[in-house]
Structure 1
């Protein structure tokens, strides 16, 4: 890759945002179809990143972040789900919430527990993803509250 081919700061942010969105979609697909991590990862990397659907080009994603989120969500799923459960009201354990939100919390939890991205950035990014999936708005407020609780638990030093 030459200097001219390297992504700019804006492009890097867009690629990270796309990777987060793809990770949520991949985690949802894994749960919904019972596909393995490896098969879903390959499908996304080979057929979704930069693919053209109905004349629209899909965004290129940060492949390293995408793979890290998937692997982290799978490896630390029990810990992330427990952290999510503590952030939810007692009558709504994680297995009772919308599967898209469950995938979102797992991807965000993987990023929060990895510790490299500032918690406030993680919250903003995943609230934006929630807005894309649920444009009516109430889910994004719910996601914000749950992720804030999770972030304070996982990374209290980030606040």
Structure 2
């Protein structure tokens, strides 16, 4: 997944990875944040001592560290609310724990941003996480994520969609 100089997208990629790692390992989110800041975020030394921006072995070359930490902390702090919101927007035959763990981490990170305030706008959050989803998945998962994120955004930030969801003439 290439990102060029998109540190906010890098923060979201790292947040998805960190939430996945915290769930898989049972580690405290603060410990995972610290590990990512010390070992995974930043430009890594490349061949011949050159510095290269590469996504290898979970490395995130450029990431807005404060945004990364805010997303992970928000997802951890509000995990019960966020998980309930995600579960409420899944089909009846899909439980949250049945989702691919990376997809679950992506939905949690996006929901944490949507739940955490009005900035950035919901459409920006959705678009950013769709970019992230396409970096992790090739099949149906991005389409599935888009549907869930749209439903979450319309619920969590109804005011941003009020004009287009209102009565039509």
How high is the TM-score relative to the length of structure 2? 0.82
1:39 to 1:91, Cα distance in 2 relative to 1, 3 A: same
Alignment partner of 1:125 is 2:117: no
C-alpha distance in 2, partners of 1:54/1:97? Answer: 35
1:108 positional shift: 0.3
C-alpha distance in 1, partners of 2:85/2:122? Answer: 15
Secondary structure of the 1:50 match is: coil
C-alpha distance in 1, partners of 2:64/2:86? Answer: 25
Residue number in structure 2 paired with 1:65: 67
Unaligned runs of at least 5 residues, structure 1: 1-9
1:64 positional shift: 0.9
Q: Root-mean-square deviation (CA), in Å?
A: 1.5
Q: Mapping of 1:56-95 within 5 angstroms?
A: 56-57=52-53, 58-95=60-97
Residue number in structure 2 paired with 1:7: none
C-alpha distance in 1, partners of 2:78/2:120? Answer: 17
> When you count helix as a share of all residues, which structure comes out higher?
1
For this pair of structures, how many residues does the alignment match?
147
Residue number in structure 1 paired with 2:56: none
Larger Rg: 2
1:130 positional shift: 0.9
Unaligned runs of at least 5 residues, structure 2: 54-59, 162-169
Residue number in structure 2 paired with 1:5: none
C-alpha distance in 1, partners of 2:127/2:156? Answer: 16
1:105-149, CA deviations, whole angstroms, 9 ceiling, x for partnerless residues? 11001000012210001111111111111123x111100000000
